[in-house]
């Protein structure tokens, strides 16, 4: 088994575009709406989800031949919840500010559909290395969308990026006003929808009739 065979490359890179968890598989939309009003929490959320989904995939993949079928969802949830708790504790110890900003959303990683989705659909039937790649790929695919949405919402909603003002004062003097609507959750939905629109018009094969 090669480290990066063609198949594995497909597993890792597929979720970034053609098989993206958010805009194609429609998983994890809920958290994509919640954390993206600023760029920084979007980025930290992306990293946290990538770490959790990758390791949860590996652990479940290693255990896949021992898990009793009747309680497999419970086992998956326990593994995910344990990993999320560890991520949250580590953030509290070493990235206190970010943890404070993300607040409830770290705990809500547990309910992120991408995790259960990937574990059920992939890790239960594949080896640990492929599962790890699948987890990283899907985490990154989710992260890309989060960062794109966060970028536009913070830029248009607050005129800042990572908390720094990027829209010059001169523009405001000219009569430009930050669009407060961008900060509200509905605009995240619309931003995601616009991304899906652009994505599908560039990839005709994804369009359904």
Partner 1 sequence: MNRDSNLYTIVYASVMVILVALGLALTSQSLRSYQKKNEDIDKMMQILRSVRVQTTAADAEATFKSLIKESYLVDENGKQVEGDAFSTDYVKAFASKEALPVFVASIDGETKYIMAMSGAGLWGPLWGYMSVNEDKSTVYGADFSHQGETPGLGAEITQSFFSKEFYDKKLFNEAGEFKSIAIVKPGKTAEGQDYVDGISGGTITSQGVNQMILTSMGGYIKFLTSQKQ
Residues of the shown chain interacting with partner 1 in the complex, contacts defined by CB under 8 A: 35, 37-38, 41, 66-71, 74-75, 78-79, 82, 85-86, 89-90, 92-94, 96, 100-104, 157-158, 180, 183-184
**Rounded least distance, CB 71 to partner 1, Å:** 6
Please list, in sequence order, all residues whose beta carbon lies within 8 angstroms of the beta carbon of residue 207, skipping any fewer than 6 positions away: 200
**Rounded least distance, CB 80 to partner 1, Å:** 11
Q: Which two tokens stand for residue 146?
A: 């989060």
C-beta of 4 vs 89, nearer to partner 1: 89
C-beta of 41 vs 139, nearer to partner 1: 41
C-beta of 70 vs 202, nearer to partner 1: 70
**Rounded least distance, CB 41 to partner 1, Å:** 6
Task: Judge residue 142's burial from the number of C-beta atoms within 10 Å of its C-beta, 0-12 exposed, 13-18 middle, 19 or more buried.
Answer: buried
Pairwise CA distance, residues 17 & 145, whole Å: 10
C-beta of 24 vs 84, nearer to partner 1: 84
C-beta of 78 vs 194, nearer to partner 1: 78
The answer to whether residues 53 and 139 touch, using CB atoms and an 8 Å cutoff, is yes
Q: Measured on CA atoms in the order 192, 194, 195, 200, is the torsion positive or negative?
A: positive
**Rounded least distance, CB 18 to partner 1, Å:** 31
Pairwise CA distance, residues 140 & 191, whole Å: 18
**Rounded least distance, CB 87 to partner 1, Å:** 10
C-beta of 38 vs 118, nearer to partner 1: 38
Q: How many CB atoms lie within 10 A of CB 168?
A: 11
Task: Indicate the DSSP class of residue 134.
Answer: H
**Rounded least distance, CB 3 to partner 1, Å:** 29
Strands (E), the chain: 160-161, 164-165
């Amino acid at each position: 088994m090669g480290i990066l065979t063609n198949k594995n490359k497909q597993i890792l890179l597929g979720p970034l575009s053609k098989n993206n968890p958010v805009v194609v598989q429609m998983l994890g939309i809920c958290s994509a709406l919640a954390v993206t009003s600023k760029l920084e929490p979007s980025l930290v959320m992306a990293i946290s989800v990538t770490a959790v989904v990758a390791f949860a995939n590996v652990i479940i993949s290693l255990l896949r031949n021992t898990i009793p079928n009747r309680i497999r969802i419970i086992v998956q949830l326990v593994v995910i919840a344990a990993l999320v708790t560890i991520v949250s504790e580590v953030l509290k110890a070493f990235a206190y500010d970010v943890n404070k900003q993300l607040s409830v959303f770290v705990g809500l990683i547990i309910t992120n559909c991408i995790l259960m989705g990937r574990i059920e659909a992939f890790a239960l039937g594949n080896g640990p290395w492929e599962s790890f790649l699948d987890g990283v790929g899907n985490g990154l695919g989710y992260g890309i969308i989060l960062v794109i949405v966060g970028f536009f919402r913070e830029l248009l909603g607050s005129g800042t990026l990572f908390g720094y003002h990027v829209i010059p004062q001169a523009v405001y003097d000219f009569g430009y006003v930050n669009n407060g609507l961008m900060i509200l959750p509905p605009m995240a939905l619309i931003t995601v929808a616009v991304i899906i629109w652009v994505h599908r018009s560039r990839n005709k094969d994804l369009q359904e009739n």
